[in-house]
Structure 1
Amino acid sequence: MIREEFRVLLVDASNGRGKIVLLDGRNEVAGGSGLAALLYNKYGQPELDWDDPSQPLIFAIGPLTGYFPLMSKTVFAFKSGYHNEYTESHAGGRLALSLRFSDLDGLVIRGCADRQSCLSISAHSLELQDVEFMAGMDSESTGRLIRRMHKKGSGHRSILRIGPAGEAGLAMACVNVDTFRHFGRMGGGAALGAKNIKAIIIHGDSDFTIPAGKAYPRLYKDVYARVTATDMMRKYHNLGTPANLEKLNAISSLPWENLRKTSDSAIAGITGKVFADEALLKNGACSGCPVGCIHVGFIREKMARDNRYHFHQVSYDYEPIFALGTMLGVVKPFDILRILDEMEKSCLDAMSGGVALAWAAEATEKGFISRKETLVDLRFGDGKGFREAARYLGRGGNEFYRLLGQGTLKAAAVYGGEEFGCVLGQEMAGYATGELFFAAQTLGFRHSHLDTGAYGYDQKVSEKDVGKAVDFLINDEPARVFLTSMVACLFARSVYKEDLLAECLESVGFSTLAGQVGETAEHIRRLRWQVRAKTGFKPENFSIPKRFYNIRTWKGQVDADYLDSLKNEYGRRIVELM
């Protein structure tokens, strides 16, 4: 029997107590992104700072989670330490299925624990454990100890944890989800750290009912065939997203050395094929996904304590290779993986961390900072130096790194060099495709390349029509928002069109929602922007550094007037929505 109400667990981290509440709104907000906005409207404190104990941390899944392939993501919503506004981060792993197997649509955490704590949630119990002995512990060691403490249910269990970056309150701190996935951007790790939550375990130790009759299993087989028979398997499973490196480099859209150039022949050393041939250990998948896009590489280290070699597994994809490879001028796969391993241990977002270190390297070259601040020599191409710097950055090693960990432009405001900080709302994603992407990421809801299809638009459209380009952004957003309310992996957006989503919802019993997908998508889109506006969002608060005006793409030199017009018009249209 499908339950129309949302079943949400409210947890008070100050005393470890919780209660279940049932909330209406399924047909208005669906779940995921929509449910998160609904919950922040109800429990959030928009006028208070991001780290106030009363601010909620919200985890939400969708109505199709567990029922169909690639409905495998979870939305994590919170007020971000990066800009003190409402935001979202999305992650895969086992978490979504674990919440479904715990009979939860959402989890809301308020209050603050007295000491470092681990929150353990099962279908029938809730426990807040004192883990003060884990304070300062890296992600790898924390995960190992948590698994020893909670040995049962490893198949369904999901483990979230933070590292030193989250404990230090760095705005680049991420949350590790089941080792190989992350709530990566906008400082989710700091949000957990502010509540003294070192780890969360969702045991997923219950079950849920599959719809009766022939319609659901028939549709499931059809959807499964679509996602495995299309090019998704080839594109995302084989080489995976690192295949994009060569393609973007070929069209002068790949950031190199802090975006001083957009193409380089050195790409030959770090293509997706090179990574697969030299460093790929295995593929993995999120629960409920048959594609298997997780690429797990390895590094081998000789340990001083026993003089023996140890292997580390490190998951990689396009974004960390851009941020810790081309952006830093590092062109050896194992050098990149070693830098990434340091960021994984401290739970620092690899994209933000890499872009920040690229700024630091150029700032060093130009004399804005020196070894006094960086503690190591930083030079483009020096993998060893960047690895040491990553360790300092992830742990807030000195005043400079603590400031840099709050955001590149915050450090640049003190030391100089704002004009070459590669920040579009947050440290840029790896697509130097042109004006529409730069404007869209600057003002996008999550400051994410997946907020819109702008990077694809830039690669296909050469004309400079502001109205047409912004219409594309506005018209593209509702369908993406509805997918993140399901919560689907956006890799599946070519399969899960509106008609199929309606059919899927109908098959599991959400008939009303199935009949109003378009209207609900638009409502969720507006609701999210309205919630963010309450926390202070204004388009004029976000600027585009000069570096983005000084590059060339396949279309030629970036057009400054066109870029400014796009940003202004997109901002105006967002305000209209709000």
Structure 2
Amino acid sequence: MIRDHFRVYLVDLDTGTMQVLERDGREQLCGGGGLAAMLFQEFGHADRPWDDPEQPLIFAIGPLTGYFPLMSKTVCAFKSPYHDQYAESHAGGRSALSMRFGDMDALVIRGRAKRLSALAVGARTFELRDVNFLRGRDALSCGRVIRDMFPGSGRRSMLRIGPAGENRCSYACINVDTYRHFGRMGAGAVMGAKNLKAIVILGDRGFPLPEGKAYTSLFKDVYKQLTDTSIMDKYHGLGTAGNVGALNELHALPWRNLQQTHDPDVDAITGERMAEDRLLRNAACAGCPVGCIHIGYVREKFQENYQYLYRQVGYDYELLFAVGSMLGITDSFDALRLMDTVELMGLDVMSTGVALAWATEAQEKGLVTEEQTLVPLAFGQADDYMAAIEHLARNSNEFYSLLSRGTLKAAEVFGGGDFACVLGQEMAGYATGEVFFAAEGLGFRHSHLDTGGYSYDQKHEEQDVDHAVDFLVEDEKSRVLLCAMVSCLFARGVYSEELLGRALESVGYDKLAGAMPSMAENIQRIRWQTRVQTGYDAAAVRIPKRFREVVTWKGPVDPDYMEALRTEYARRIMEIGAVSEE
């Protein structure tokens, strides 16, 4: 059953109560990222710090969630501990479908539980349980306990944090159904600040599918495009791990804190070798037929007579970059062991890998000592990195406490800002050139998926600032529309604006189908306005020196071109995010 209004579940942890609210705005903001920004403007506080108990933690889905394949993402919005500004993070798993079956468009959580707690919420369920006995437990063992506490079918989604979230690390993640994450910008720390160890979303109701042939026929057509054509093959086959070898060949893969963009010893961590030697199986988010999640294994000897314990570990390009090439790791088992440790601690893997790469170079240059890092950090040494990851999650000393707030925070104290690989947050693994560096540095989520800047670098030799910035602004606009539906961005080659319109019409959202251009502008505007209202100034963003020293397949980066891009893109962003005084 479609509805023009949004159905919002508002949880107050202080009182242990929940309200069901209705909010207008569907025709202007659609859902997902647009809805989340609207709810932050209602319930958030731009002038209070990120960990104020009244700051909301928001989860939102879109009008096509549950109706079409790959409409499988949830948007999580919050005031970030990383920069104390409005932020978003996106994750798949079962969370979106569980919210749809739970009869909610959004879940808003305010307040702070008196003791470490687990929240269970659904259309017929609301419960807050004391789980203080789980304090300090890793994310995966916590998951086993929470599953027993809140049994459910495949319509149940479980979100939980590890020690990093409890200790309010600025890049602590929320683990979603084991293999997916709200990874970037510190959503896990927001849960920790609210004294929430876990959130269980129970899809305990259901929803009817549209009647008639139009919906059924379109669903079959979309499903066929996603499964019977080559459009999505790469995601199921090698997955994004296939980018490792390709980007290394392009001299665009960051190595050893971006001191290199190519290394001949890449072979063991390429997608091809991972598939041949380490891949156990594929998995998929609920509502997705593609299966892009690639799961490998690590093993530990637990008895002297060569008996081993095997654990399954998800991997993809971002992970292989962050704790592989960025740390100089060229053994696939070592890379998977580091991924597993990051997973247990509940950290964002990209920020963790990049932060430790900076720390390694800082130690090489004598800016920090082994007394501060507690272990000798050296590129390629996985065992020491495993220990450092746990120190980082548990804030073992002043050095790790600073580093857990972000690489630039540590660099302010110890020096080394010139080689901090930070583009708004610790970089994603695309050293493709000037457009990408400017795009991630200034972009809304500081994500490689905010726009296709990395693709633009590969397709354009000319240095046309206006053309490049126009591309970034328009490409973001098309992506925020998908992030309001809420689609997996891997499906952007399938879900054209025309197909999205037909999909909306087939489930009864005729008005939305006819208003997509204006909706996209509205969503782009309200997201940037919300970010600016919480303190963002794009013009103040700087790109560290290390990015001016990069050499790609095109040759050395042009610092003047990158600065011109940064200046113009910042101007356009602030123009979009300007708040009318009327």
Do the two structures share a fold, i.e. TM-score over 0.5? yes
RMSD over aligned Cα, in angstroms? 1.1
User: Equivalent residue for 1:278?
Assistant: 277
Matched residues in 2 for 1:575 and 1:314: separation? 41
Matched, 1:129 2:139: no
User: Equivalent residue for 1:506?
Assistant: 505
Matched residues in 2 for 1:239 and 1:474: separation? 31
Matched residues in 2 for 1:230 and 1:551: separation? 37
Question: How far did residue 372 of structure 1 move?
Answer: 0.5
Question: How far did residue 540 of structure 1 move?
Answer: 2.8
User: Equivalent residue for 1:209?
Assistant: 208
SS of the aligned residue for 1:267 comes to helix
Matched residues in 1 for 2:2 and 2:350: separation? 40
Superimposed CA distance per residue, residues 264-304 of structure 1 (whole angstroms, 9 cap, x where no aligned partner): 10111211011111111110000000000000111111237
Superimposed CA distance per residue, residues 333-355 of structure 1 (whole angstroms, 9 cap, x where no aligned partner): 11001111111001000000000
User: Equivalent residue for 1:365?
Assistant: 364
Alignment of 1:77-476 (within 5 A): 77-151=77-151, 153-303=152-302, 308-476=307-475
Question: How far did residue 306 of structure 1 move?
Answer: 11
TM-score (norm 1): 0.99
Matched, 1:20 2:8: no
| Paired amino acid for 2:299 | R
| Paired residues of 1:16 and 1:126 also in contact (CA < 8 A) | no
SS of the aligned residue for 1:493 comes to helix
Question: How far did residue 387 of structure 1 move?
Answer: 1.5
| Paired residues of 1:73 and 1:96 also in contact (CA < 8 A) | yes
Superimposed CA distance per residue, residues 368-403 of structure 1 (whole angstroms, 9 cap, x where no aligned partner): 011101111111111111111112112212211111
Matched residues in 2 for 1:232 and 1:164: separation? 39
Matched residues in 1 for 2:309 and 2:150: separation? 25
User: Equivalent residue for 1:527?
Assistant: 526
- Percent identity, aligned pairs only, is 58
Question: How far did residue 41 of structure 1 move?
Answer: 1.0
Over 3 Å counting, the alpha-carbon distance change for 1:287 and 1:45 in structure 2 is same
User: Equivalent residue for 2:38?
Assistant: 38
Matched residues in 2 for 1:109 and 1:535: separation? 19
| Paired residues of 2:423 and 2:441 also in contact (CA < 8 A) | yes
| Paired residues of 1:85 and 1:535 also in contact (CA < 8 A) | yes
SS of the aligned residue for 1:280 comes to coil
Matched residues in 2 for 1:434 and 1:259: separation? 12
Structure 1 residue ranges (4+ consecutive) displaced by more than 4 angstroms after TM superposition: 304-308
Unaligned 5+ segments in structure 2 are 578-582
| Paired residues of 2:113 and 2:196 also in contact (CA < 8 A) | yes
| Paired residues of 1:87 and 1:532 also in contact (CA < 8 A) | yes
Unaligned 5+ segments in structure 1 are none
Question: How far did residue 58 of structure 1 move?
Answer: 0.4
Superimposed CA distance per residue, residues 430-489 of structure 1 (whole angstroms, 9 cap, x where no aligned partner): 000000000010110000000001000001101111111111111111110000000000
User: Equivalent residue for 2:47?
Assistant: 47
Matched residues in 1 for 2:195 and 2:128: separation? 11
User: Equivalent residue for 1:29?
Assistant: 29
Matched, 1:544 2:543: yes
Question: How far did residue 259 of structure 1 move?
Answer: 0.2
SS of the aligned residue for 2:402 comes to helix
User: Equivalent residue for 1:2?
Assistant: 2
Matched, 1:56 2:56: yes
Matched residues in 2 for 1:305 and 1:173: separation? 36
Matched residues in 2 for 1:307 and 1:161: separation? 34
Matched residues in 2 for 1:109 and 1:3: separation? 23
Matched residues in 2 for 1:310 and 1:393: separation? 25
Over 3 Å counting, the alpha-carbon distance change for 1:122 and 1:305 in structure 2 is farther
Over 3 Å counting, the alpha-carbon distance change for 1:350 and 1:305 in structure 2 is farther
| Paired residues of 1:328 and 1:380 also in contact (CA < 8 A) | yes
Superimposed CA distance per residue, residues 94-117 of structure 1 (whole angstroms, 9 cap, x where no aligned partner): 000000000000000000001100
Matched residues in 1 for 2:500 and 2:383: separation? 48
Matched residues in 1 for 2:26 and 2:84: separation? 28
Matched residues in 2 for 1:475 and 1:149: separation? 46
Question: How far did residue 309 of structure 1 move?
Answer: 2.1
Matched residues in 1 for 2:306 and 2:244: separation? 37
SS of the aligned residue for 2:280 comes to strand
Question: How far did residue 541 of structure 1 move?
Answer: 3.0
Question: How far did residue 228 of structure 1 move?
Answer: 1.3
Number of residue pairs aligned between Structure 1 and Structure 2: 577
Matched residues in 2 for 1:370 and 1:341: separation? 27
| Paired residues of 1:232 and 1:291 also in contact (CA < 8 A) | no
| Paired residues of 1:549 and 1:560 also in contact (CA < 8 A) | yes
TM-score (norm 2): 0.98
Matched residues in 2 for 1:206 and 1:303: separation? 44
| Paired residues of 1:320 and 1:351 also in contact (CA < 8 A) | yes
